[in-house]
Amino acid sequence: MSNGNSADAVSAPLETAALISRFEENFGRLPDGVWQAPGRVNLIGEHTDYNEGFVLPFAIDKTARVAVAARPDSTIRLLSTYGGQGLTTADLTSLDSAAARGWTKYPLGVIWALQQRGIEVPGIDLLLDSDVPLGAGLSSSHAIECAVISALNELTGAGLQAEEMVLATQQAENDFVGAPTGIMDQSASLRGAKGHAVFLDCRTQEVQLVPFEAEPAGLVMLVIDTKVQHSHADGGYASRRASCELGAEVLGVPALRDVTVDDLEEASGLLDEVTFRRVRHVVMENDRVLQTVELLARQGPGAIGALLDASHVSMRDDFEISCPELDLAVDASRRNGAIGARMTGGGFGGAAIALTPVAAEAEVRAAVVNAFADAGYGKPDIFTVTPAAGAHRIS
């Protein structure tokens, strides 16, 4: 999620020891610990989470890390290694979302959500470092929230299970940050595992870890960050969510999760044209997630390309959350050897993923960069990701 602060540039991650000494320099003592949580890429299952459907994201090898020390008073002091924003001070007894600036909304939102649960959070000193690109649709905000909640869960001795931490961070996003998002991102960040995608049933929070490794199949997962900034606190995400709720209401089901592919024909007669297309995306996307899980188990990553492509077309044409830069990233990578590609995350900007044979990687990278230059778009950032561990303490 973009915080609209261009000074918040992300650079290479600090080593843990360097983060600890930076903490000591700024706060005059050592932290109680350092916690880390990853960003995520969604393999497939977009805008299905708040429809109580299925998603298949994975935690990536780009992380937010927080060094934290509890304080004996109610003061909160927040500092990041990002440029631009100095020390932010707040007080536990008067958390104010309207006054919170930039990235500080995320730790403050988590503290607020824990307080809503009756958990007594101490004052803290916190230093953040992150190499999850901001506003790229890779859940930089959830990485921060999940690192912070992991730290506070331990420091308060609250002993929350992952499912409860997922709901607390969702409440922070929805009611403090003001983004009406679902539970996918924090579930991937908290529950991800190396070499696996997280197959999540968003109705029950049941998780199945699905082996997903591109490399043994001769593939790489490329992320193409279009650099088109987006924010889910803006109107597009909320209006899609409202269409889905309207669709479920008209069809008389608790959530679109309960509509099957076979129900779609009848649904087309009951819904207005736009709502029908929104519903069709969600219903077909849920089905594609289930098919992807099955294909991965039977045939491995080389078999899922067509499903990634179909997911993108559905987001472009039915859900209408893509943008010209994302479409170009997808088309250029497909035309130059990727076996499947789609935008990933909430849409309206951010990143695309392209599952690409190792032998075609250089060609795909060059083709995407050239296509962006020809179209007069800014240079995209292209990098590989692999499924990595979920949130944990690192020091």
Catalytic residue numbers?
185
Provide, rounded to whole angstroms, the least separation between the CB of residue 101 and ligand GLA.
21
Which of the ranges 45-53, 63-71, 128-136, 265-273 carries the binding residues for ligand GLA, by CB under 6 A? 45-53
CA distances from 236 to 118, 179, 322, 332 (A): 33, 11, 11, 26
Which of the ranges 44-52, 79-87, 253-261, 273-281 carries the binding residues for ligand GLA, by CB under 6 A? 44-52
How many residues form the binding site for ligand GLA (CB under 6 A)? Answer: 11
Provide, rounded to whole angstroms, the least separation between the CB of residue 78 and ligand GLA.
22
The three-point CA angle 54-60-62 to 5° equals 145
352 binds ligand GLA (CB under 6 A): no
The C-alpha atoms of residue 346 and residue 236 are separated, in whole angstroms, by: 9
247 binds ligand GLA (CB under 6 A): no
Instruction: Give Rg (Cα) of the chain.
Output: 21
Provide, rounded to whole angstroms, the least separation between the CB of residue 121 and ligand GLA.
24
Question: Which is closer to ligand GLA, CB of 65 or CB of 342?
Answer: 342
Which of the ranges 47-55, 73-81, 352-360, 380-388 carries the binding residues for ligand GLA, by CB under 6 A? 47-55
User: For the chain, what percentages of helix, strand and coil (3-state, to nearest 5) are there?
Assistant: 45, 20, 35
Contact assessment for residue 223 and residue 385, using Cβ atoms and an 8 Å cutoff: yes
Q: Are strands 75-80 and 123-130 parallel, antiparallel or unpaired?
A: parallel
286 binds ligand GLA (CB under 6 A): no
The C-alpha atoms of residue 75 and residue 151 are separated, in whole angstroms, by: 17
Q: Which helix (H) or strand (E) holds 186?
A: helix 184-191
Question: Considering only CA atoms, which of 160, 131, 164 is closest in space to residue 388?
Answer: 131
49 binds ligand GLA (CB under 6 A): yes
Contacting ligand GLA within 214-233 (CB under 6 A): 232
Establish how many alpha carbons lie within 13 A of residue 17's alpha carbon, considering only the half-sphere containing its beta carbon.
Answer: 0
Contact with ligand GLA (CB under 6 A) among 13, 38, 133, 345: 345
47 binds ligand GLA (CB under 6 A): yes
Provide, rounded to whole angstroms, the least separation between the CB of residue 335 and ligand GLA.
26
Question: Which is closer to ligand GLA, CB of 31 or CB of 347?
Answer: 347
The C-alpha atoms of residue 131 and residue 367 are separated, in whole angstroms, by: 26
The three-point CA angle 155-161-162 to 5° equals 100
Contacting ligand GLA within 167-186 (CB under 6 A): 181-182, 184-185
Binding site for ligand GLA (CB under 6 A): 46-47, 49-50, 181-182, 184-185, 232, 345-346
